[in-house]
């Protein structure tokens, strides 16, 4: 009988101590932000020059913690659209790509950052097709929420 009581007591202690309520943590449901300022580069309808290196500048923020970002530059010779900007740009005539520029790069953000001033060097080859391109920034916070900024640019 004593063994049964001891076993029941041990079970009760296990149940009550094993089920401690954890401090209620607020669930992060906010998307990170890509902050556009006059010093951001490129801007909608901006220009990159073949054979030169451009310094990309963007400001990111999040309510809890930023994760990482990526830059994707690809041709828009068929005039498809995934711009996130209100203003539109003047496009060249549609054309078939011969040697289009394609740039896709991931970048880390220092752990614990709620705000980050991103800068990246992008070398634009001299021998690529000039014309209309998309410049996409994908920003992810630590929880996995993602914000995309799509700009229409020209490479000349």
- For residue range 110-137, what is the model confidence (pLDDT) as tens digits? 999 999 999 999 999 999 999 999 999 9
CB 132 within 8 A of CB 91: yes
Residue 136 domain flag: yes
pLDDT for position 3: 53
Sheet holding 33-35, edge to edge: 33-35, 53-61, 115-123
Host domain of residue 88: 32-155
Q: Rounded CA gap, 13 and 19, in Å?
A: 10
Residue 11 domain flag: no
38-90: pLDDT as tens digits: 889 999 999 999 999 999 999 999 999 999 999 999 999 999 987 788 888 99
Cβ-count burial 30-52 (b if 16+ within 10 Å, e if not): ebbbbeeeeebebbbeeebeeee
Residue 9 domain flag: no
pLDDT for position 21: 47
Residue 134 domain flag: yes
Three-state DSSP class for 42?
coil
Residue 42 domain flag: yes
CATH number, residue 74: 2.60.40.1930
CB 32 within 8 A of CB 144: no
Residue 56 domain flag: yes
Domain count within the chain: 1
Residue 76 domain flag: yes
Q: Rounded CA gap, 13 and 124, in Å?
A: 67
Residue 23 domain flag: no
């Amino acid at each position: 009988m004593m063994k049964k009581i001891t076993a029941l007591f041990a079970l009760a202690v296990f149940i009550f101590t094993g089920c401690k309520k954890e401090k209620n943590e607020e669930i992060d449901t906010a998307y990170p932000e890509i902050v556009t300022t006059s010093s951001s580069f490129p801007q909608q309808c901006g220009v990159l020059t073949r054979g030169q290196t451009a310094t990309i500048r963007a400001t990111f923020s999040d309510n809890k913690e930023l994760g990482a970002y990526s830059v994707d530059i690809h041709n828009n010779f068929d005039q498809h659209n995934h711009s996130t900007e209100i203003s539109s740009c003047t496009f060249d005539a549609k054309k078939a790509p011969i040697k289009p520029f394609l740039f896709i790069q991931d970048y880390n953000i220092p752990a614990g950052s709620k705000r980050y001033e991103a800068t990246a060097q992008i070398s634009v080859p001299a021998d690529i097709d000039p014309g209309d391109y998309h410049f996409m920034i994908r920003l992810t916070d630590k929880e996995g929420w993602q914000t995309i900024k799509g700009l229409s640019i020209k490479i000349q």
